[in-house]
Amino acid sequence: MRFGLIGYGAWGRHHAEAIKRAPGASLAAIACASEDTATRARAEHPGVDVYTDYRSLLDDPAIDAVDIVVPIYLHAQIGIAALDAGKHVLLDKPMARTIDECDALIAAQRRSGKVLSVGHDYRASRQYVLIRELLDANELGELQYVSVNLFRNRFRQGSDDWRFTPEKVGSWVLEEPVHFFDLALWYFESAGLPQSVFAVGNSRLEKRGLYDDFTAITRFKSGYASITVTLGGFQHHTQVQVVGTQGAVRTHWSGVMDRAQNPMIGFELRRRGMAFERGVRECETIELRADNEANKLQNQLNRIVGAFERGVAPTPGEEARSRVVMCVEAERSIVEGREIRLSWPGTP
């Protein structure tokens, strides 16, 4: 399958390498935002067509699929153009800045008949996939509580300062908490979509949407999720706790940065049926490979070729849209200072 890559910034370069290593995929073309990055792409990938206008890449009938790795404000524009050009699309998370942009992407996917999948790459890490497998196997009983806590340093600026420009980024809730809303909704999937969200946030930059500290409580029919992120910390440290009626999981990931090559991880589990000992429930430690960002990306690209060939999306547009809804409504909760009741298409 011949891939075109749109976006060749810091993360786009990793995507290029992952495409080249993915079974059944070849990197056929790259679209860059400037002549400087195009020069670098030509040097790093000889024999690959390089453009400075993504439309030229989309005009190539030999391109089967595109991997879009651009700032959030360009997701809808480029994603729609790619689908209308008859290409399968892997779109980096979040799906878009707004619900209307998500709906426009879904409409383009439906009229094109191609596959649109959004790259929620935490689902490509064994550390977090194992939790879902334990839930599906009823090893934890009925899910009641999910907690995600991220302690990290400040975001990178991004090209042309886009990540620090509210009109371009939409909200920092879409940058990092979107991952954790995705995990919470994925884990609580059997309980249905969430019922409400209440959020608070602080901004040291005093710009709406750019929250250095963020906490959200999301209610589901059978429990709730707590998501807390601070950018006022240092390094990159994530902890996830999942509790059911008959078991629990605690897992953590720590590195000097989000793309650390050798992070430290831990995974502790109490399954259903494990006995009490001296009033404390036993737990087991599971040894896992420490996935870093590059590992998750490679896992994601390895499976996307087969998904495109089968006409299915690992994370379809409708599913990714609900994650954007959570971010947008959490933002509204902060601004309005109240819990937001959620409504979903097709539900009473």
CATH of the domain at 86: 3.40.50.720
Q: Give the separation between CA 328 and CA 343, rounded to whole angstroms.
A: 13
Indicate the pTM of the whole model: 0.95
Are residues 100 and 235 located together in one domain of the fold? Answer: no
Does residue 6 lie in a domain region?
yes
Are residues 193 and 330 located together in one domain of the fold? Answer: yes
Average pLDDT value for residue range 232-238? 96
Q: Is the pLDDT of residue 276 over 70?
A: no
Are residues 186 and 274 located together in one domain of the fold? Answer: yes
Are residues 111 and 144 located together in one domain of the fold? Answer: no
59-63, 130-134, 287-291, 316-320: least confidently modelled range: 287-291
Does residue 194 lie in a domain region?
yes
* Cα diameter, the chain: 68
What's the total number of domains in the chain?
2
Does residue 348 lie in a domain region?
no
Which residues sit opposite 179 in a β-bridge? none
Are residues 184 and 154 located together in one domain of the fold? Answer: yes
Specify the CATH number for the domain of residue 135: 3.30.360.10
- Non-local CB neighbours of 195 within 8 Å, separated by 6+ positions: 219, 220, 221, 341, 342
Position 280 scores a pLDDT of 59
Q: Give the separation between CA 12 and CA 250, rounded to whole angstroms.
A: 32
Are residues 235 and 260 located together in one domain of the fold? Answer: yes
Please report the DSSP string for 33-49 in residue order.
SSHHHHHHHHHHSTTSE
Whether 31 contacts 57, CB under 8 Å: yes
pLDDT tens digits, one per residue of 33-87:
999 999 999 999 999 999 999 999 999 999 999 999 999 999 999 999 999 999 9
Q: Is the pLDDT of residue 91 over 90?
A: yes
The order of strands in the sheet holding 49-51 is: 49-51, 26-31, 2-6, 65-68, 88-92, 116-119
| Residue 269 lies in domain | 125-290+324-341
Are residues 107 and 161 located together in one domain of the fold? Answer: no
Phi, psi for 128 (deg, rounded to 5):
-100, -25
Instruction: Give burial (CB, 10 Å; 0-12/13-18/19+) of 298.
Output: buried
